[in-house]
Amino acid sequence: MTQAARIRRCHAAHLWQDDGWSREGIFGIDGEGLLQAVDDGPAETLGTWVLPGMPNLHSHAFQRAMAGLAERRGRADDSFWTWRETMYAFAAAVGPDELRAIAAQLYVEMLKAGYTQVCEFHYLHHQPDGRPYAPPEAMSLALVEAAREAGIALTLLPVLYMSGGFDGRPLGARQRRFGHEVESYLRLVESLRTREAADLRVGIALHSLRAVPEDALRAVLDGAAARQGPVHIHIAEQLGEVQDCLALRGARPVEWLLDHAPVDARWCLVHATHLSEAETARLARSGAVAGLCPTTEANLGDGLFPLADYLDADGTLGIGSDSHISVSPVEELRWLEYGQRLVSRHRNIAARREGASVGQTLWRAALRGGAQAAGLPVGALRPGRRADLLVLDDGSPVFAAREEPALLDSFIFAGNTPLVRDVMCGGRWVVRDFHHHDEERIAQRYRHAVQRLAPA
């Protein structure tokens, strides 16, 4: 059989491209699950409105199972730092089997919501007492298996985590399972890279400036591991982090990183919430992605990213669901915009010119930045990219009397009715008629895993 004969021809009445909607879109999908250009002719009709699937550039999968468990007021003023103690206690009970069950359930939820790729910022490496599993990459492999089980593309970002603060204090007892020395961390990365495939990319992640001493950061960035694949880092999420960095390194976190590391388009700076005007402009010029997680940032009381200034400086951004108190690209984008409206007391902030659509602006920006952060050929419906796409429910009342200019605005801002009907990943249908092909079995295993994790 020829390559041409193996190509599936597909048709969409409206196909989202980089510059907007294309009518009567015809495209092919080859045997590797990649999009190909084809001539006009008979084709399978996918639906009326077809969009590229959204990359999710920041995930801690195990935290999905603790969503809702940190919403009671403590004796002290609650903050990110008190939430972190709850997270540490929960993480102590999660092993490879539990992680695979939780991650598979999460990834099914992502797919049904419209995410077709996920960047897993993974620091839950060892047993609770800090001893390695056998094999040492057991927890990482649990995530790979979960992603393949669900059918989502994965960028795995094993995390280097070495110290408990900018002052170099050792990791606490509940952080021991996160920790690596540089040499063992690089061995982990290289071992995982032998498993890369069309649906799996392996990058590196530096947990944060407070958790990676300067000499270790330099050692990793100077080595071969950092010269391939994406590089992600948590940064400037909390004001306390900014204050500590100023006190001990004499600079704000993003300022320090830009001065001391080769930050470029391969980098994703996750959160980057607290930026000065100069940092905002420099981050935009660097070409790096600002990895924004609005629902988690709101849940933790982090603060608001300077969106308008960053967009005016042509900065690149993407979205992630992070702690998964919400698993919805629509809600991330909606709250990215709504947060700006609340603080500015104006509307339509992301649309930086008269007549521009907020929904189109945000969806386009998040596709571009998410694909860049993932290091995979995703985020666009054009030849050579993965056939990762969403078919919206053209029968929904939400879309009644909606044409191209208002379609994405209605998708993002017109309520909470599920609107993603079908989802394809790598040329394979994983969701049809709102239903994941294996969701019942995966959900049942998740229930058993969470019951084992519940306190006695």
Give me 389's structure tokens: 């796409």
Name the residue type at position 425. Answer: C
Clarify whether 271 is annotated catalytic.
Answer: yes
Q: 232-245 burial, b for 16+ CB within 10 Å, e for fewer?
A: bbbbbbbeebbebb
Enumerate residues 6+ apart whose C-beta is below 8 A from 267. 230, 231, 232, 233, 286, 288, 289
Task: Render 405-425 in DSSP notation, one character per residue.
Answer: HHHHHHHHHS-S---EEEEEE
Please state, in angstroms and rounded to a whole number, the distance separating the CA atoms of residues 52 and 97.
32
391 within 8 A of 46, measured Cβ to Cβ: yes
Is 33 in a helix, a strand, or coil? coil
Q: 54-64 burial, b for 16+ CB within 10 Å, e for fewer?
A: bbbbbbbbbbb
Identified catalytic residue from 126, 232, 274, 322: 322
Place of tokens 């699950």: 33
Clarify whether 322 is annotated catalytic.
Answer: yes
337 within 8 A of 358, measured Cβ to Cβ: yes
112 within 8 A of 425, measured Cβ to Cβ: no
Helices (H), 63-195: 80-91, 96-113, 138-150, 182-193
Please state, in angstroms and rounded to a whole number, the distance separating the CA atoms of residues 28 and 427.
10
Reported in sequence order, the residue ranges of 207-266 that DSSP labels E, i.e. its strands, are 231-235
Enumerate residues 6+ apart whose C-beta is below 8 A from 150. 104, 107, 108, 110, 111, 430, 436, 438, 442
| Peptide bond just before 135 cis, omega within 30 deg | yes
- Cα 178 to chain centroid, rounded: 20
Give me 272's structure tokens: 């980057």
Enumerate residues 6+ apart whose C-beta is below 8 A from 394. 47, 48, 49, 421
Identified catalytic residue from 11, 58, 126, 271: 271
114 within 8 A of 390, measured Cβ to Cβ: yes
Name the residue type at position 373. Answer: A
Residues acting as catalytic residues? 271, 322
